[in-house]
Amino acid sequence: MSDHSHLPAWREQSLGRRLFLQVSAASAASAALVVAGCDTSSTPTPTVDTNQILLPQGNQGMLYYAYLLSLAKSTTYQKVVDSPPGDLPAAERAIFADMRDHEVVHRETLKYLIDPTRAKALFPSDFAFILTRFTLTSRAGVLAAALQLEDLAAAAYPVIVPFFTTSNSYARTLLLKMSTVQARHAATVRDLLTPGSFADSTVVNSTGQLITKTPTEVLAALAPFLAPYVLSITCPDTNPSTDPGLCTANG
């Protein structure tokens, strides 16, 4: 997480406004000043990295985060459906078509939850999930890509759902309903890749609980696919005794 995320003035800006600022000459100049080495004892000036995207605070940021996961999967599966590898059997192509559909439904539902008018651009216009790091030209490559994304999403949901309190129970219920479909996807892809690995010890611990991942871990795993953009989320609490696992491992 970059330091400027802790400055109240920075946090108060909406994502849209911040993105706008990122391309403005003034912010480019202030970034240059910091790079040039201004007096460290003066009031800190936000260093504006034009590719830095800080997700909004609170529940809205978690909806963006879930949206990002569905964007990653829907983009990947659309490519698989459009140009399936020759060695991907028809039955498995049908599985990917279904998963593509589920992810599009999730993506659009999350976009609706973030902005019911659907008018707002959630990310910059050239923001994309980059597929070139995957090998989507073979069955093995497709399944490896899907495994990585599905296990990430399945591990992400149990961490963010508890943050939706009674004031946002509607979104929480929808995320809950999506979370187990993510888990079904993950188990399916695991079984396709290695039969019987649907819930093996790499994803389920000795007490029978899914091993979760914090947003920081998930965003780090996704980072190579989002270049040049760098996404970060504000950790509300880094104390393991009170943080229900958003940013620290939960026992």
The closest alpha carbon to 212, from 151, 164, 165, 171, belongs to: 151
Nearer to other proteins, 50 or 60 (CB): 60
- Nearby residues of 101 by Cβ (< 8 Å), 6 or more positions away: none
d(CA 48, CA 43): 15
* Interactions with other proteins, residue window 30-59 (CB under 8 A): 57-59
Residue 169 binds other proteins, judged by CB under 8 A = yes
Applying CB under 8 A, among 31, 34, 105, 221 the residue interacting with other proteins is: 105
Size of the site for other proteins (CB under 8 A): 71
Distances (CA, A) of 62 to 17, 54, 83, 157, 227: 19, 12, 32, 10, 20
Direct distance between the N- and C-terminal alpha carbons of the chain, in angstroms, rounded to an integer: 23
Angle at the Cα of 175 from the Cα atoms of 130 and 120, rounded to 5 degrees: 55
Based on the shown chain and the rule CB under 8 A, indicate whether residue 213 belongs to the binding site for other proteins: no
> Could you tell me the smallest distance in angstroms from the CB atom of residue 32 to other proteins?
27
Q: Are 155 and 213 in contact (CB under 8 A)?
A: yes
- Given the rule CB under 8 A, which of 29-37, 47-55, 188-196, 215-223 is the region that contacts other proteins? 188-196
CB of 36 to other proteins, least distance (A): 27
- Span interacting with other proteins, options 24-32, 131-139, 151-159, 218-226, rule CB under 8 A: 151-159
Q: Which of 27, 212, 214, 232 binds other proteins (CB under 8 A)?
A: 212
Nearest residue (CB) to other proteins, 12 versus 87: 12
